Chain A
Amino acid sequence: MTRLWQAALLLFALVAIYLLPGTLKNYGVYIVTLWSVYVIAGMGLNLTVGYAGQISLGQAAFWGIGAYTTAIALKAGLPFFAALPLSAALCFGVGLLLGFPALRVQHHYLAFATLGFNVLVFLAFRNEDWLTGGTFGINNIPRPILFGWRLRAPLDFFHLTWIATVVMGALMALLLRSPWGRAFAALRDNPIRAESVGIDTTFYTLLAFAIGAAYAGVAGAFFAPLVGFIEPAPFAVTTSLSMLLMVIAGGSGRLFGPAIGAIVVVLLPEWLRFAAEWYLAIFGVLIVVMMVWLPGGLLSIPDRLRAARVLK
Chain B
Amino acid sequence: MTALLNVRDMRKDYGAIRAVDGVSFSVDAGEILGVIGPNGSGKTTLFNAILGQVTPSAGAVTFEGQSVTGIKPLHLARLGIGRTFQTLQVFGQLSVRDNLIAAGQEFGGSTWRRLFAAPDAGLGARADDMIALFRIGHVAHLPAGSLSYGQQKLVDIAMAFMSRPRLVLLDEPCAGVNPALIDQLTDLLRQVNQQTGATFIVIEHNMDFVMNLCARVICMAQGRILAEGAPASVQANPAVLEAYLGS
Stretch at the interface among A37-45, A131-139, A192-200, A271-279: A192-200
> B104-117 interface mask toward A, CB cutoff 8 Å, 1 = contact, 0 = none?
11110001001111
Q: Classify chain B's interface size.
A: 35 or more
B72 within 8 A of A: yes
B119 within 8 A of A: yes
Assuming A186-B91, A186-B94, A253-B93, is B73 touching A195 (CB within 8 A)? yes
Q: Which residues of A contact B141 (CB under 8 A)?
A: none
Assuming A185-B93, A186-B94, A253-B93, is B163 touching A197 (CB within 8 A)? yes
User: Mostly helix, strand, loop or mixed at chain A's interface?
Assistant: helix
A198 touches B77 (CB 8 A): yes
Nearest CB to that of A200 among chain B residues?
A: B74
Q: Smallest Cβ distance from B2 to chain A, in angstroms? A: 25
A201 touches B74 (CB 8 A): yes
> A174-209 interface mask toward B, CB cutoff 8 Å, 1 = contact, 0 = none?
010111101101101110111111111101000000
Stretch at the interface among B19-27, B82-90, B238-246: B82-90
> B48-72 interface mask toward A, CB cutoff 8 Å, 1 = contact, 0 = none?
0001010000000000000000001
Q: Smallest Cβ distance from B139 to chain A, in angstroms? A: 16
B89 touches A190 (CB 8 A): yes
B106 touches A182 (CB 8 A): no
Stretch at the interface among B95-103, B180-188, B214-222: B95-103
B102 touches A197 (CB 8 A): yes
Q: Which residues of A contact B107 (CB under 8 A)?
A: 198
B162 within 8 A of A: yes
A192→B159 CA distance, assembly (Å): 14
> Which residues of B145-197 are within 8 A (CB) of A?
145, 159-160, 162-163
Assuming A196-B73, A197-B77, A197-B102, is B117 touching A178 (CB within 8 A)? yes
> Which residues of B102-136 are within 8 A (CB) of A?
102-107, 111, 114-117, 119, 121
Q: Which residues of A contact B73 (CB under 8 A)?
A: 192, 195-196
A183→B145 CA distance, assembly (Å): 17
Q: Smallest Cβ distance from B23 to chain A, in angstroms? A: 21
Assuming A182-B94, A182-B105, is B74 touching A195 (CB within 8 A)? yes
A178 touches B116 (CB 8 A): yes
Q: Which residues of B contact A177 (CB under 8 A)?
A: 119
B92 within 8 A of A: yes
A229→B231 CA distance, assembly (Å): 78
Q: Which residues of A contact B114 (CB under 8 A)?
A: 178-180, 183
B interface vs A, CB < 8 Å? 51, 53, 72-74, 77-78, 82-83, 85, 89-94, 98, 101-107, 111, 114-117, 119, 121, 145, 159-160, 162-163
The 5 closest A-B pairs by CB, nearest first: A198-B106, A189-B91, A198-B77, A193-B89, A197-B103
